[in-house]
Amino acid sequence: MNWTKPTATALLMTAVVSASLYSGAPASAASTTAPAAKSSSTSTSSSSSKSTTTAAPSGTKTSNSSTNSTTASTKSAKADQTNSAKADKSSISKASSAAKDDKKASSKAASTSKSNDNTKSAAAAAGATTVTGSTYAAWTGVSKLNHETVIPLIVEAQKRYTYTTSGGASGAAAGTFTLSGQTYRYLSQDIGTRSKLLSYLMETYTKQASETFIQKNFVQNNGKMAQLQADGGSLLEFDRATAKMISMTDTSRVYRLTVPYVDNAQPVERVMVKFALVDGQWKINTAPHVLF
């Protein structure tokens, strides 16, 4: 068979192609492709790493900002708690002070009330009673005299002393007159005569003590009792006094009173008081102006 040149060339090319198909991709082709893949992988990794590296500062900055915000919030909360605690402490202190003040006021009021109740109880125990009169409460006396019942009797006697030395009923306007260059005022009608005045005093004092007091402090003019137009008073609080018996017989007693001043402004006074039993009732046998 005669082969022509073109035919030979075609056969040679066919052989080369067959050999390539049988042995796989040529080494030059694999070599060329691999570096490309490696380059792509390296580029991707580098890009990813760079991206990650770049993002890190941003995340760190955000975290620091969040931490600073949290710290500021915590400080603010603590400051609020401290201020609130101070305010609560101040309120509690004021409330406590107010409570102490209230407690002191309540204690003082209770003490005064108790003192008055004790005086009334002692008077009742002694058999003393009061009855509303036309101008001043009547006093029926004390039948049992001791260190407790002495004080109600003294307090009642002081009221009668003050009432008479003040001219009797307030606002009575009984009138005045002049005698020996001095102004006198008449007593109110309920004690305006000698017999009325004496009777009124003798409910707490003996007749002797009452007579001595009238003789010393009053005058009689036109059948009416009068006194110098002047007022006075005592700073001693006999309702807070205490009594101690010094001597006694069946019909007489002597007590020593310890009497404080108003608001304890001065040292206490000690006063000796005589008592006498008259018709079953104990009377003060010391003249009012001497006692008070």
Tens digits of residue pLDDT in 246-267: 999 999 999 999 999 999 999 9
Q: DSSP E strands: which ranges in 88-154?
A: 130-131, 138-139
CA–CA distance, 185 with 12 (Å, rounded to integer): 171
Q: What local confidence, expressed as pLDDT, does residue 80 receive?
A: 53
**Number of C-alpha atoms within 13 angstroms, CB side, residue 181?**
0
Bridge partners for 245 per DSSP: 255
CA–CA distance, 144 with 203 (Å, rounded to integer): 15
CATH topology of domain 126-291: Nuclear Transport Factor 2; Chain: A, (3.10.450)
> CA torsion 270→274→275→278, rounded to 10°?
-160
CA–CA distance, 59 with 64 (Å, rounded to integer): 9
**In which residue ranges of the chain is pLDDT below 70?**
1-138, 172
Q: What local confidence, expressed as pLDDT, does residue 230 receive?
A: 81
pLDDT above 90 covers a percentage of the chain that reads: 47
